[in-house]
Amino acid sequence: MTRILIVEDDIAFGTMMQTWLKKKGFDVDKATSVGAAVRLIEEKPAYNLVLSDLRLPDRDGLELLAWMHKNSMPIPFIVMTNYAEVQNAVLAMKSGAADYIAKPIQPDILLSKIKDALQNNNTSTPQPNNSNHTTTTPQPLNPSPRYIEGKSDASRQLYSYVSLVAPTPMSVLILGASGTGKEYVARRIHEQSQRAGKPFVALDCGAIPRDVAASEFFGHKKGAFTGADTDKRGAFEAANGGTLFLDEVGNLSYDVQVQLLRALQERRIRPLGGTEERPIDIRLVAATNENLEQAVAEGRFREDLYHRLSEFTIYMPQLSERGTDLYLFADLFVRLANEELSRHVEGFDARAAEKLASYSWPGNLRELNNVVKRAVLMARGAFITQDELSAAMGPVRQEPITALHDADAERQRILNALQQCGGNKSKAARMLGIDRKTLYNKLG
């Protein structure tokens, strides 16, 4: 039986959690201080997981985590924290905690995090960071990944939908602001689909001149038009058997929309200048930062094409909606910048980390990546300072920019989710990665 130790000085809350977890089949002990937890762990060293508050009567919960590491006890450690203590949660994860959960705790989310922590316990446990700095970035032995998925509730919800739709043949429409990572989600859909071993072809519809769009989609034969000196395969043929990702699909001209719809309906294409149609077998994933429903209402986008693209819709959360994922992405971008620029910056000092959190990041991950890269280049010491981060953000980025947040677009995104969920507000909130109360507040 899985054994859990709860470390919580709120006796009523700790008892309630102990009772609930026991009903879920766990063997649960509880302690109200770091000292009591240490004694229990020494007496009963077979705990599988520790669930601890950060603020405890005798010492900080991170001291318990450090003591466990010092005594070679790689037990998964989940931190409980208030929403106002975001940086402490991130520090805990940097010190080796498996995860964190914000209070008030939602039981289903806690159970999911416990299961994830237990499953991931086969991997090596990070060594604690005992410095006073908020984030650190050790130099990797291997190249860093280009992207991470995050641990926030919004990120978990997002990738649960990716896992749900990926194995199906459904077309997927990804809606979200620029810089939120739509192409990465499209690639994950492909990688988790039955077409994973086939091509993934991405086409930026916003960068295609209108007069060559048909050639980009369907290819052309030599001599089809002036400058067509050789035969060319189009994106549909290149992606045959795999996935075709059409980014910024809302920018397509109306006549190109007609040709695209025909190809999707008939599953056949004919290159420009060609006489024979060729069968194609693709899974289509499209993305846009436009409100396509509004474009349909205004006659700028074909309604039948919209419905063909949106068999399943995924809404990308803004970076500002992804909680402490901000720090995880910032650390990743530091590592990537170090590799690209041959630098050795370890992370952000505490004041710079506060500044990261105080800004709304309207440009999302793309803006964060650009700012971090500049800050790494400008850093004079091991850690990026507040002044260096301010300089990297530029003069128009000195204060949080809330005026640029498009409230109307956000409201429309919520209304779209409500429509897709048949008016069920709880389901729509889960789809958007926010809680029901936040949904009500945003609707006004």
Per-residue pLDDT tens over the stretch 243-280: 999 999 998 888 889 989 999 999 998 887 777 888 99
Is 337:372 a contact under the CB 8 Å cutoff?
A: yes
Average pLDDT over residues 22-28: 91
pLDDT for res 195 = 94
Average pLDDT over residues 55-75: 86
Cα 14 to Cα 224: distance, rounded to the nearest angstrom: 74
pLDDT for res 118 = 87
pLDDT for res 391 = 94
Average pLDDT over residues 322-327: 84
Question: Which is it for the CA torsion 371, 374, 376, 381, positive or negative?
Answer: negative
What does the chain come to in residues?
444
Average pLDDT over residues 156-180: 94
Question: Could you tell me the pLDDT band of residue 206, with boundaries at 50, 70 and 90?
Answer: confident
Q: What is the dihedral of CA 281, 242, 270, 258, to 10 degrees?
A: 90
Domains and CATH numbers, the chain: 3-122 (3.40.50.2300), 153-315 (3.40.50.300), 406-443 (1.10.10.60)
Q: What is the pLDDT of residues 269-311, one digit of tens each?
A: 888 777 788 899 999 999 999 889 999 999 999 999 999 999 9
Contacting residues for 88 by C-beta, under 8 A, at least 6 apart? 54, 62, 79, 81
Task: Tell whether the model's pLDDT for residue 134 goes beyond 60.
Answer: no
Percent of the chain with pLDDT over 70: 80
Task: Tell whether the model's pLDDT for residue 125 goes beyond 60.
Answer: no
Q: Could you tell me whether strands 278-279 and 268-269 are parallel, antiparallel, or unpaired per DSSP bridges? A: antiparallel
Average pLDDT over residues 16-45: 89
Cα 143 to Cα 350: distance, rounded to the nearest angstrom: 26
Residue 243 phi/psi, 5-degree rounding, is -120, 135
User: In this structure, how many other beta carbons lie within 10 angstroms of the beta carbon of residue 285?
Assistant: 31
pLDDT for res 439 = 67
pLDDT for res 13 = 85
Cα 272 to Cα 194: distance, rounded to the nearest angstrom: 31
Task: Tell whether the model's pLDDT for residue 133 goes beyond 80.
Answer: no
Task: Tell whether the model's pLDDT for residue 131 goes beyond 60.
Answer: no
